[in-house]
Homo-oligomer: A and B are copies of this chain.
């Protein structure tokens, strides 16, 4: 260990980048089924960076099946940007990737190319945290306000957040950092579970899983809605019977509605007291979200897992469209852009409740919420991280949930590494799981 830390201080270079198209046949069990995604095969476009002194960094984009090959090839296209580099100045390298004048045309800052940048940036952070011998949340939490501000691209943000305002937020949070780090290590961070609520499950399974969620100590659950109103009423009633009238139950429409139908549908479920309504319409529709928020008040609106970048989050906050902001660890431009989004949320006083699930999204995003708690918002109030209980067994440092809370990771890195035997078995289309399909 001492030898490793010494090794990590010497100059080094990234000399290898491997990519893999990894897919899990989740559609066979209807895990992950919702109103827009009836049959996902949860997938990872996976990347490993290796240095000339024996360290590695792991990252991935999450997709739900078809197109994961395209996502993987987009990551591979970034090879020239990282080979020969180190992971020391991740502000500069991130901005170089995002602002490359030719690649930018493919977005800008959205879709496949932006998710590819996310995977590589996150792998660079995994590498850096491993070299530092710290879990990412702690590495970030121990950086100075100035170092953190240097990581952020403020372009297009200055009408809502300037570097000076960001510094002020971060400096305010300096007070009490050490205590919050101890609190996290002792108590972890609250989770909520979506496992009971997939649309493909029958009422008995829903009832059983609600009961299990309560028994496991989760402070909140979430139900998928939006395919059929009568079904939603029946399922929400079942969940309320098990959970009682005051337990927080959020609902998630996965972008199923137009503005007017969102307002009508959510109002029709109002008697069941939804904690929030998530993704009521297109993630691109800032004004639509604002109109829905107005139309369903006092029910809260949440969104973010498909929001493409900090610029759309900025507007959702400016428009007062959100009561909860849901970052995703692998859709926007990685750790750096998520720091910008956490700072925007703090500036507008909106709590961040991350999206997770999929493949490895819980593993990644826990680090960002914990960093938010220690160094930005300073609060766990009204904050929960989504939890879904599948596919964790494929990771070398899987999340640990204890009494409805994420335990703070202690292993060095970003918890992003998949087990070699899982990579081999689920590689598409030649791994053993797919070969016979």
Q: A73-B73, A112-B74, A308-B110 are contacts. A102–B66 as well, Cβ < 8 Å?
A: yes
B113 touching A159, Cβ below 8 Å: no
A282 cross-chain contacts in B, Cβ below 8 A: 108-109, 155-156, 311
Q: How far is the CA of A40 from the CA of B102 in the complex (A)?
A: 6
What is the minimal beta-carbon distance from A82 to any residue of chain B, in angstroms?
A: 14
Q: Is A67 an interface residue (CB 8 A)?
A: yes
Q: How far is the CA of A306 from the CA of B116 in the complex (A)?
A: 19
B286 touching A106, Cβ below 8 Å: no
Q: Is A36 an interface residue (CB 8 A)?
A: yes
Other A-B pairs, 6, CB within 8 Å; known A38-B101, A63-B102: A36-B101, A40-B105, A64-B101, A64-B105, A74-B112, A285-B314
A71 cross-chain contacts in B, Cβ below 8 A: 106
A102 touching B67, Cβ below 8 Å: yes
Q: A285-B156, A311-B285 are contacts. A106–B111 as well, Cβ < 8 Å?
A: yes
Residue interface mask A92-111, B partner, CB < 8 A = 1? 00000000111111111111
What range describes how many residues of A lie at the interface?
35 or more
A107 (CB) vs chain B CBs: closest residue: B111
Q: A156-B285, A158-B259, A288-B159 are contacts. A67–B113 as well, Cβ < 8 Å?
A: yes
- A interface majority secondary structure: loop
A107 cross-chain contacts in B, Cβ below 8 A: 110-111
Which residues of A in the span 288-324 have a Cβ within 8 Å of any Cβ on B? 288, 291, 306, 308-309, 311-312, 314-315, 318-319
Residue interface mask A271-288, B partner, CB < 8 A = 1? 000000000011111111
Q: How far is the CA of A39 from the CA of B103 in the complex (A)?
A: 12
A115 cross-chain contacts in B, Cβ below 8 A: 106
A114 cross-chain contacts in B, Cβ below 8 A: 111
Say which residue of B67, B155, B309 sits within 8 Å of A106 (CB atoms).
Answer: B67
Residue interface mask A105-141, B partner, CB < 8 A = 1? 1111111111110000000000000000000000000
Q: Is A31 an interface residue (CB 8 A)?
A: no
Say which residue of B37, B77, B159 sits within 8 Å of A105 (CB atoms).
Answer: B37
Q: Is A372 an interface residue (CB 8 A)?
A: no
A315 cross-chain contacts in B, Cβ below 8 A: 285-288
User: How many copies of the polypeptide does the oligomer hold?
Assistant: 2
Most chain B CB within a 10 A radius of its CB, from A36, A64, A70, A258 = A70
A259 cross-chain contacts in B, Cβ below 8 A: 158-159
A308 (CB) vs chain B CBs: closest residue: B110
Which residues of A in the span 238-266 have a Cβ within 8 Å of any Cβ on B? 255, 258-261
A314 cross-chain contacts in B, Cβ below 8 A: 285
Say which residue of B66, B103, B157 sits within 8 Å of A77 (CB atoms).
Answer: B66
B158 touching A260, Cβ below 8 Å: yes
A318 cross-chain contacts in B, Cβ below 8 A: 287
Q: Is A69 an interface residue (CB 8 A)?
A: yes
B105 touching A67, Cβ below 8 Å: yes
Say which residue of B37, B77, B260 sits within 8 Å of A159 (CB atoms).
Answer: B260
Which residues of A in the span 312-346 have a Cβ within 8 Å of any Cβ on B? 312, 314-315, 318-319
Q: Is A41 an interface residue (CB 8 A)?
A: yes
Q: Is A354 an interface residue (CB 8 A)?
A: no
A38 cross-chain contacts in B, Cβ below 8 A: 101
Q: Is A65 an interface residue (CB 8 A)?
A: yes
What is the minimal beta-carbon distance from A357 to any residue of chain B, in angstroms?
A: 13
- What are the nearest 10 A-B pairs in CB distance? A111-B111, A112-B112, A65-B102, A66-B102, A159-B259, A158-B258, A284-B311, A156-B282, A64-B105, A70-B74
What is the minimal beta-carbon distance from A37 to any residue of chain B, in angstroms?
A: 5
B156 touching A63, Cβ below 8 Å: no
Q: A110-B284, A284-B308, A285-B311 are contacts. A291–B39 as well, Cβ < 8 Å?
A: no
17 A-B pairs (CB sep. < 8 Å): A36-B101, A36-B104, A37-B101, A38-B101, A63-B105, A63-B106, A65-B102, A67-B74, A67-B106, A67-B113, A106-B111, A110-B308, A112-B113, A159-B258, A159-B260, A284-B309, A285-B314
